[in-house]
A = this chain, B = another copy of it.
């Protein structure tokens, strides 16, 4: 951590600040230039807060020179993390496709989806029981009933399931879910992150719409800090000024995660653009960029979907996209699950 001091600062106050750092067990490199005096802090700076230091009158600026995340940092854990769930491996060359409808609507629908996406090669069934909607007047999901239908589809097809949690109060309901998804709008719901850190299940952590990579990895760090090391990152599009699409898939996230972290990262091409015709080109780019998997919306009859139909492939389109995905994963030398 670099602390830039204000010009002509009072000596005594600077000494008090330096004492404060020494008391915290940090070593200080003091460097005096013409216009600028700098303190370089060495030791464990993850507990330091830039704001706290800025509170000292003599401080002009504070800059981190090391990442604030530790447990999820590749520097301290060089090998790729592999997450094993329901017989599937995620990460480190293993490639997974999670597919299914936006919302669970009824048993026939979710079972048909599960059968078809399994036949096409998906390794997980996705589907929303609790749905975050920007309008209180929109369909909010079947909730607990939706979870039951997902589990029924799992029973009939053997496909493990991934579905979104929206409240700490619902954690018990998710006991038989294989992967718990945390949605983009809850990426910094710190209380929920803490609860998920205490549970013993893989978490699919979606990146917030305007979150930086550091904030994204710090959210994963929250889950690790609670003891849960099974985190799968998911990039699902960020907010940009573009009007032709809903969100803008950030494919730089893939190589950045690979450089800075050991966690697997999968891509959601459906929610990113919000356009069905973008799913295939974005999936192709994601595979080539090195993603560990894809999560794709596929529906048995998208024009009557109760939510987000614009981005859903129908099951025939999914078959077509899936065979393209397999060919590309093979070209990249990935091992397709299941």
Contact = CB atoms under 8 A, between A and B. Distances in A.
Given A38-B65, A51-B311, A169-B168, A278 B255 contact: yes
Nearest to A71: B136
Contact of A65 (B2, B75, B259): B2
A226 B137 CA distance: 11
Interface in A33-49: 33-36, 38, 40, 42-43, 46-47, 49
B242 A212 contact: yes
B239 A214 contact: no
B50 A285 contact: no
Given A252-B245, A256-B244, A47 B281 contact: no
A7 B251 CA distance: 27
Contact of A240 (B166, B189, B238): B238
Interface string A1-18: 010100100000000000
B43 A40 contact: no
Interface string A266-292: 000000111001100110111111100
A250 B309 CA distance: 24
Interface in A134-192: 134-140, 166-169, 185-186, 188-192
For this complex, into which size category does the number of interface residues on chain A fall? 35 or more
B278 A252 contact: yes
A307 interface: yes
B68 A135 contact: yes
A51 B241 contact: no
Nearest to A42: B33
Interface string A219-254: 001100110000000000011111111001111101
A213 interface: yes
Contact of A61 (B35, B65, B238): B65
A132 to B, nearest CB: 5
Contact of A135 (B4, B49, B137, B311): B49
Contact of A241 (B239, B249, B290): B239
Nearest to A188: B185
A55 B288 contact: no
B2 A63 contact: yes
24 contacts: A7-B75, A29-B31, A31-B40, A34-B42, A36-B66, A38-B40, A40-B40, A49-B133, A49-B308, A51-B307, A61-B65, A134-B218, A136-B221, A136-B225, A137-B225, A140-B190, A169-B191, A212-B241, A212-B244, A240-B250, A249-B252, A252-B273, A259-B277, A284-B290
Interface of A: 2, 4, 7, 27, 29, 31, 33-36, 38, 40, 42-43, 46-47, 49-57, 61, 63, 65-66, 68, 75, 132-140, 166-169, 185-186, 188-194, 209-210, 212-215, 218, 221-222, 225-226, 238-245, 248-252, 254-256, 258-260, 272-274, 277-278, 281-282, 284-290, 302-312, 328, 331
The 5 closest A-B pairs by CB, nearest first: A55-B309, A54-B310, A33-B42, A210-B210, A288-B288
Given A38-B40, A331-B331, 5 more contacts: A36-B65, A136-B222, A189-B189, A212-B243, A251-B282
